[in-house]
Structure 1
Amino acid sequence: MAEPLRLLIVCLGNICRSPMAEGVLRARIAASTLAGKVELDSAGTGGWHAGEPPDRRAILKAAEHGVDIAGLRARQLAPGDYREFDWLLCADRANLRDVRARMPARARARAALLLDWAGVEADGEIPDPYTGGPAQFEHVYQLLDRAADGVIARARRELGLFD
Structure 2
Amino acid sequence: MTKKIAILFICMANYCRSPTAEGVFRSRAAAAGLDPFLLIDSAATSNYRIGHAPDPRSSDHAARRGIDLTGQRARQVTQADFENFDHIYAMDRQNLAMLKTACPPRFHHKLGLLMEFATRSDSDVVPDPYGGDVDGFELVLDYIEDASDGLVASLRERIGRG
Bin for the TM-score computed over the shorter chain: over 0.9
Cα contact 1:20–1:62 (8 A) shared by 2: yes
TM-score, with structure 1 as normaliser:
0.92
Measure the CA separation in 2 of the matches of 1:88 and 1:25. Answer: 13
User: Match for residue 7 of structure 1?
Assistant: 7
Distance 2:79 2:114 in 1: 20
The letter of the residue matching 1:85 is F
Q: Which runs of 5+ in 1 are unaligned?
A: none
Pairwise CA distance, 1:122: 7.0
What residue identity is the alignment partner of 2:63?
A: A
Contact 1:88 1:109 in 2 (8 A): no
- In structure 2, do the counterparts of structure 1 residues 56 and 123 end up closer, same or farther at CA, with 3 Å as the change threshold? closer
How big is the shift at 1:146? 1.0
Given residue 34 of structure 1, which amino acid in structure 2 is its aligned partner?
L
Task: Give, in angstroms, the shift of residue 147 of structure 1.
Answer: 1.2
> Which 5+ residue runs of structure 2 have no aligned equivalent?
none
What residue identity is the alignment partner of 1:79? Q
1:46 is the counterpart of 2:46: yes
**2:56, 2:118 → 1: CA distance?**
29
Task: Decide whether the 8 Å contact of 1:45 with 1:95 is kept in 2.
Answer: yes
Which whole-Å CA distance do the structure 1 matches of 2:105 and 2:134 have between them? 41
Q: Counterpart in 2 of 1:131?
A: 131
- Partner Cα distance (2:102, 2:122) in 1: 23
What is the match of residue 104 of structure 2?
104
Distance 2:68 2:150 in 1: 21
Deviation at 1:33, TM superposition (A): 2.3
Tell me the number of residue pairs that the alignment of Structure 1 and Structure 2 aligns.
Answer: 161
Residue 3 of structure 1: SS of its match in structure 2? coil
TM-score scaled by structure 2? 0.93
Q: In the alignment, what sits opposite 2:26?
A: 26
Contact kept in structure 2, 1:91 and 1:113, CA below 8 Å: yes
